[in-house]
Amino acid sequence: MNLVVCGSDGSVKSSISDLILGQRQLRSESRSVCVRREAEVCGSLISLVELPALYNSQLSEEEVMQETFCCVSLCDPGVHAFLFILPEGRLTDEDKGELEKIQRIFGLKLNSYTIAFISTENLKDAVLDDVIRDVAESGKVHVCALETNIDKSVFLQKFEHVVEKNSGSCYTSNMYLEAQMETQLKYKSEIKDPKK
């Protein structure tokens, strides 16, 4: 199963990756490239790619596009689930910017493959940003609490649920390229007719 971990906080993403894979990996403060790791979790091979933060990063727009394409390419035949790591409480401008940028780059099909993890011990009692609450209530994206003592099989069940919901299909490189073409067409139409 191929997973991509997204979010603006690199250390939290790495901690989540460690938690899911049951491995602790030494790392530098921040990364500007995708990192792929693999491990067997509850009898299933998990391939996990950490996507570097894209909003407010030191990466040029061209480097962002290279890293996002690399991210999908490292997950052959495709990404089974994107894991958005979000803070409890109010989203910062950086968190919102990260979400918007990833949505713009990967397109609307991304939502079918997304699980939003909230860094909280109890989702029912959590103070959630309105954006997160709207996402959770829409049913388009799975939202769950991220507990440090969570059983890995619970993670696996959530990932498998997304795979089942999508009839075993993945977010593929072709979907990524389609999203890029749609973005370019939208941009060109806005230039031709700025009233849109």
Q: Domain locations in the chain? A: 2-192
Tokens of 167: 């009839």
CATH superfamily, domain 2-192, is: P-loop containing nucleotide triphosphate hydrolases (3.40.50.300)
Residue of 102, 115, 117 lying closest to 176 (CA atoms): 102
Say what the pLDDT of residue 33 is. 87
Tokens of 127: 């103070």
pLDDT digits (tens, 9 = 90+) for 7-57: 887 777 887 888 888 877 665 555 688 989 999 988 999 999 999 989 888
pLDDT digits (tens, 9 = 90+) for 124-177: 555 455 555 555 554 445 555 555 566 778 778 888 988 999 999 999 999 999
10-13-16 Cα angle (round to 5):
150
Q: What gap in Å lies between CA 11 and CA 137, rounded to an integer?
A: 28
> Which backbone phi and psi does 35 adopt, to 5 degrees?
-125, 130
Q: What gap in Å lies between CA 142 and CA 71, rounded to an integer?
A: 21
Residue pair 141/114 in contact (Cβ under 8 Å)? The answer is yes
- Amino acid making up residue 5: V
